[in-house]
Amino acid sequence: MIRYTENDKSFFLEGADFTYAMRVDSNGYLTHTYYGAKIARADLGYYRPENVRSFNPVIPGTKKAYADIMQEYGTANLGDFREPAMISRSVSGDCTADLRFAGYYILPKKHAVKGIPTSRGGETLVIRLRDGYNGLSVYLYYTVYEKENILTRRAKISNTTGDTVFLERALSFTLDFYGSGYEVLTLAGHHAKEKYPQRSELHQGIYSVGNIRGTTSANHANFIALLTPGTDEEKGEVFASSLMYSGSHYESAEVDESGRVRLSSGINPGSFRWKLDAGEEFETPEAVLCYSNAGLGLMTRQYHDFFRRYVINPKWVYARRPIVLNSWEGMHFSFNSERIFETVDKLKDSGVDLFVLDDGWFGARDSDRAGLGDWYCNEKKLPGGLRAIADRCAENGLGFGLWIEPEMVNPDSDLYREHPDWAVGIPGRPGVPSRNQFVLDFSRQDVVDHIKHVIGDVIAGSGACYIKWDMNRPLTENFSHLLPADRQGEFQHRYMLGVYELAEYLTKRFPDILFEGCSGGGGRFDGAMLAYFPQIWTSDNTDADDRSMIQYGTTLVFPLSASSNHVSISPNIRNGRATPLGTRTNIAYLGTFGYEFDVNRFPADEFARIPADTARYRTIDGLIREGDVYRGNNRHDGNDALVCVVSKDKKRAVAVYLQALNPHKMNPRFRIPGLDPDRLYRVDELNLMLPGSVLVNLGVTLPRYRNDFGSTLLTITAVE
Distance (Å, whole) CA 658 – CA 638: 11
Cβ closest to ligand GLA, residue 190 vs residue 453? 190
Distance (Å, whole) CA 244 – CA 323: 28
Distance (Å, whole) CA 4 – CA 104: 10
Question: What residues have CB less than 8 Å from 664, skipping those under 6 apart?
Answer: none
173 in contact with ligand GLA (CB under 6 A): no
Q: Which residue is catalytic, options 470, 546, 628, 676?
A: 470
CB 586 within 8 A of CB 713: yes
CA-nearest of 355, 455, 448, 364 to 405 is: 455
CA-nearest of 631, 705, 696 to 668 is: 705
Listed ranges 137-145, 459-467, 513-521, 587-595: which one lies at the site for ligand GLA (CB under 6 A): 513-521
Nearest 5 degrees, angle CA 257-CA 263-CA 264?
125
Q: Which residue is catalytic, options 353, 359, 540, 640?
A: 540
Cβ closest to ligand GLA, residue 237 vs residue 405? 405
Smallest gap, in angstroms, from Cβ of residue 332 to ligand GLA? 8
Smallest gap, in angstroms, from Cβ of residue 275 to ligand GLA? 35
**Interaction residues for ligand GLA, span 460-499 (CB under 6 A):** 470, 472
Distance (Å, whole) CA 574 – CA 443: 35
Task: List the one residue from 139, 177, 403, 709 that touches ligand GLA (CB under 6 A).
Answer: 403
Smallest gap, in angstroms, from Cβ of residue 148 to ligand GLA? 31
CA-nearest of 333, 338, 340 to 371 is: 333
646 in contact with ligand GLA (CB under 6 A): no
Cβ closest to ligand GLA, residue 83 vs residue 359? 359
Query: Which amino acid is it at 292?
Result: S
Cβ closest to ligand GLA, residue 44 vs residue 573? 573
- Residue 570, judged by CB atoms within 10 A of its CB (0-12, 13-18, 19+), counts as buried
Cβ closest to ligand GLA, residue 358 vs residue 412? 358
Smallest gap, in angstroms, from Cβ of residue 388 to ligand GLA? 22
**If DSSP codes are grouped into helix, strand and coil, which group holds residue 564?**
strand
Task: List the one residue from 283, 359, 621, 676 that touches ligand GLA (CB under 6 A).
Answer: 359
**If DSSP codes are grouped into helix, strand and coil, which group holds residue 256?**
coil
CB 718 within 8 A of CB 686: no
**Interaction residues for ligand GLA, span 520-579 (CB under 6 A):** 520-521, 537, 540
Active site residue 305: no
Task: List the one residue from 66, 166, 303, 328 that touches ligand GLA (CB under 6 A).
Answer: 328
Smallest gap, in angstroms, from Cβ of residue 366 to ligand GLA? 12
80 in contact with ligand GLA (CB under 6 A): no
Distance (Å, whole) CA 615 – CA 298: 31
597 in contact with ligand GLA (CB under 6 A): no
306 in contact with ligand GLA (CB under 6 A): no
Cβ closest to ligand GLA, residue 522 vs residue 527? 522
Listed ranges 219-227, 228-236, 243-251, 515-523: which one lies at the site for ligand GLA (CB under 6 A): 515-523
Task: List the one residue from 358, 412, 516, 621 that touches ligand GLA (CB under 6 A).
Answer: 358
Smallest gap, in angstroms, from Cβ of residue 470 to ligand GLA? 5
372 in contact with ligand GLA (CB under 6 A): no
Number of residues that bind ligand GLA (CB under 6 A): 11
Listed ranges 451-459, 514-522, 566-574, 605-613: which one lies at the site for ligand GLA (CB under 6 A): 514-522
- Residue 480, judged by CB atoms within 10 A of its CB (0-12, 13-18, 19+), counts as buried
- Strands (E) across 435-501 are located at 438-439, 466-469
Query: Which amino acid is it at 512?
Result: D
Smallest gap, in angstroms, from Cβ of residue 532 to ligand GLA? 17
Task: List the one residue from 518, 549, 658, 675 that touches ligand GLA (CB under 6 A).
Answer: 518
Smallest gap, in angstroms, from Cβ of residue 322 to ligand GLA? 17
- Residue 584, judged by CB atoms within 10 A of its CB (0-12, 13-18, 19+), counts as buried
Cβ closest to ligand GLA, residue 472 vs residue 551? 472
SS percent in the chain: helix, strand, coil, step 5: 25, 30, 45
- Write the DSSP assignment of 407-418 as a string of letters: TEE-SSSHHHHH
Smallest gap, in angstroms, from Cβ of residue 558 to ligand GLA? 17
Active site residue 540: yes
Smallest gap, in angstroms, from Cβ of residue 403 to ligand GLA? 6
**If DSSP codes are grouped into helix, strand and coil, which group holds residue 155?**
strand
Q: Is the dihedral of CA 223, 227, 230, 236 positive or negative?
A: negative
Rounded to whole angstroms, what are the CA distances from 215 to 222, 282, 474, 520, 592?
Answer: 10, 20, 7, 11, 23
121 in contact with ligand GLA (CB under 6 A): no
Cβ closest to ligand GLA, residue 401 vs residue 520? 520
Cβ closest to ligand GLA, residue 78 vs residue 536? 536
Cβ closest to ligand GLA, residue 521 vs residue 591? 521
Listed ranges 295-303, 482-490, 516-524, 579-587: which one lies at the site for ligand GLA (CB under 6 A): 516-524
Distance (Å, whole) CA 703 – CA 700: 10
CB 13 within 8 A of CB 56: no
Smallest gap, in angstroms, from Cβ of residue 362 to ligand GLA? 12
- Strands (E) across 411-519 are located at 438-439, 466-469, 514-517
Cβ closest to ligand GLA, residue 335 vs residue 705? 335
371 in contact with ligand GLA (CB under 6 A): no
Nearest residue to ligand GLA on Cβ basis = 359
Catalytic residue set: 470, 540
> Where do contacts with ligand GLA occur on this chain (CB under 6 A)?
328, 358-359, 403, 470, 472, 518, 520-521, 537, 540
